[in-house]
Structures are given as structure tokens and as C-alpha cells.
Amino acid sequence: MGETVLAAKYLPILILAILVFAIGLSMVIINQILGLRRPYPEKRVRYECGLPPSGEPRHPFSVKFYAIAILFVVFDVEAVFLYPWAVSFGKLGALAYVEMVVFIVLLLVAYVYAWIRGAFQWE
């Protein structure tokens, strides 16, 4: 019983998501019906300011983006740990505060290291 009540609370989110999807889909379908269709090869070439496209569209990119992605995971996990702590902080008291300070300081060491190694430096 408890589980169904819980699921029922989240049901409206799903309903809204389905409705949004349905509205988007119906707009695309209307577009298919009403829209013109006169394709020719030049029209379907990818856009590069009117010139014929040159080279591969998906070329190698800077490794910095990977570094940012990894740092994001680290800090997002930190945020995930902070949420339950923040919500129940009122009942936990001073010890929980000290524990969280230790946790944040540990992460700050990694953060400072990343900063010194230039992970946030884009030129």
C-alpha cells in the first residue's frame, strides 16, 4: 500500500511528461502534413555558410572537455552527498557539521590540485 501511494505521488510528473511529448509530436506531424517538400541535393548538404562543406564534421577536440566532465562527476557526487545532510542537518548537530567540513576540505585539496595543474585554464 505504501509503495502505491508513493508511486501515485510521482504519477503527475509522468503524465505531464507524456503530455509535453504528445504536444511536441503532434506539432511535428502537423509540420509533416502542412510543410512543403521539395528536396534537392544541395538543400540537404550540411550548412557551412553556403560553401561546399570540407573535411570531416566531427573532428578531434581538446582533452580539456574530458577533464571538465570528470571534475563534474566529482562535484556532482559531492552535491548528492550534501543534499541529505542539508535536509536533516537540524537533527544532526555539531558533529555532522564537523564531518561535512572534513569532507569538503578533502575535496578542496583535489580542487586546488586541479586548479594548479591548469584544469580551469582555457586559452
Binding flags for another protein, 28-67, as an x/- string (CB under 8 A): x-xxx-xxxxxx---xxxxxxx---x---xxx-x--xx--
What end-to-end distance do the CA atoms of the chain give, in Å? 58
- Which DSSP string do the residues of 22-84 spell out, in sequence order? HHHHHHHHHHHHHS-----GGGGSPPSTTSPP-S-SS----THHHHHHHHHHHHHHHHHHHHH
Minimum Å gap between C-beta 75 and another protein is 4
110 binds another protein (CB under 8 A): no
Query: How far apart, in whole angstroms, are the C-alpha atoms of residue 114 and residue 120?
Result: 8
Minimum Å gap between C-beta 76 and another protein is 6
User: Judged by CB, which is closer to another protein: 53, or 113?
Assistant: 53
User: Judged by CB, which is closer to another protein: 1, or 69?
Assistant: 69
Binding flags for another protein, 81-100, as an x/- string (CB under 8 A): -xx--xxxxx--xx--x--x
